[in-house]
Homo-oligomer: A and B are copies of this chain.
Amino acid sequence: VKVIGLMSGTSADAVDAALVEWPEGPAPRPFALLAYREEPIPAELRARIHRLAAGRVPGPEALRELARLDVILGERFAAAARAVADQARVPLAAVAAVASHGQTVAHHPEDRATLQIGDPSVIAERTGCTTVADFRPRDVAAGGEGAPLAPFFHFAVLGDPREGRGVLNLGGIANLTWIPRDATPEDVVAFDVGPANALLDGVVATLSGGAESCDRDASLARRGRVDGALLARLLDDEYLRRPPPKSTGRERYGLAEAEALVAASRACGRGAEDLLATLVRFSAEAVAGACRELLPGAPRPDRLLLGGGGARNPALCAALREVLPGVPIESMDAAGVPADAAEAMAFSLLGRNALLGLPNHLPRCTGAARATVLGEIVPAGPGQSFATRPSSATS
């Protein structure tokens, strides 16, 4: 079954599109990534999304702007789906479904409210493909936080009958999915470990007055030395010790913290290279500490699979190898999941499972009361039917 997964993150930089071929039956493996691409979102549209999500559209216009962007993003998502099918030389008529995460413009689990836009009716109409979307609201309706959803994908495609595996996504924040050897869905644990690129990038941006956005190839961090006293202070962190489920973000490990660290380093004459080297080590130690202290049974991972932009940071990879001696650390690519394509592939699987009537989230990770099927299905057009439960079909 060929399913296109679409993902647009909160940064609204680009739509990621992945066309994956899944088995016909319920098993998720073997799978094959047929094509992957990123469709940039133009700056003007990105600015409108951020303006809406930040609540800066005045009340009288807010709903209309929301409804407009819902359609405009639906068109963009449809175009991204068409483009990735073209790239794979697969006709859309051979694609079983498009599965779209949507663009999050509000997420308030405390109000049981999460809102993604990018109208799936537009995607279905423009592609002629069955479209699945709005995954998070169903998890929230079932008592969950609506997040994280990626661990289901990690479990399904990266779990192993002989190895306990950690899947570490190094985006702005480091997210860890722990999949014990031969795990059931209930065995999987996933949480936000602590800082990754958000803090490192924030320091570089602060040091350069905004001229640089990241430490390319870790050229600064690799020249620095770890400051043991600073590292100890950083590791004395309430968040790192808190047991999962837990999540964090840039409000804790972002620009504000980076500015404070740069100011303190300047005050004591610590160089930029040393600060960055220490922060790289901090991120790595947070991961090692999480493995030691927060995973049930304090397992030593048999393997760590890396994804996200941080997987290409040589200093961070080296630090992880130092703090987790003897643990094989490699990119998800080795398991058939190119790190850049992982999120879009995850929604491809979630959508495929929705079509098959298979659960597609991990209640232990999201907090949902029970496993159900996330997603709303928009038919491609006439001639498709949806099998309701036997009890109702025969009533």
A60 CA to B54 CA, complexed, in Å: 7
B58, B113, B119: the one within 8 Å of A64 (CB)? B113
Q: Which of A263-271, A290-298, A333-341, A383-391 contacts the other chain?
A: A383-391
Q: Which of A66-74, A191-199, A281-289 contacts the other chain?
A: A66-74
Q: Tell me if A327 is interfacial: C-beta within 8 Å of chain B.
A: no
Contacts of A115 in B (CB 8 A): 63, 66-67, 70
Q: Which of A130-138, A176-184, A308-316 contacts the other chain?
A: A130-138
Q: Kindly report which residue of chain B lies nearest to residue A393, judged by CB atoms.
A: B96
B64, B112, B122, B358: the one within 8 Å of A108 (CB)? B64
Distance to closest chain B CB from A323 (angstroms): 40
Contacts of A120 in B (CB 8 A): 376
Residues of A50-70 contacting chain B, CB below 8 A: 52-53, 55-64, 66-68, 70
Given A93-B392, A125-B141, A391-B93, CB of A71 within 8 Å of CB of B383: no
Are the CB atoms of B372 and A357 closer together than 8 Å? no
Contacts of A318 in B (CB 8 A): none
A340 CA to B282 CA, complexed, in Å: 66
B62, B68, B125, B356: the one within 8 Å of A142 (CB)? B125
Q: Tell me if A114 is interfacial: C-beta within 8 Å of chain B.
A: yes
- A–B pairs, 28, beta carbons within 8 Å: A1-B392, A55-B63, A55-B64, A56-B60, A63-B115, A66-B106, A66-B115, A67-B106, A67-B113, A68-B113, A70-B113, A71-B111, A71-B140, A93-B392, A96-B392, A96-B395, A97-B392, A121-B138, A124-B138, A124-B141, A130-B386, A354-B379, A357-B383, A373-B384, A377-B378, A380-B389, A384-B388, A384-B389
A residues sitting closer than 8 Å to B (CB atoms) are 1-2, 52-53, 55-64, 66-68, 70-71, 74, 93-97, 105-106, 108, 111-115, 119-122, 124-126, 129-130, 133-134, 137-138, 140-142, 354-359, 371-373, 375-389, 391-393, 395
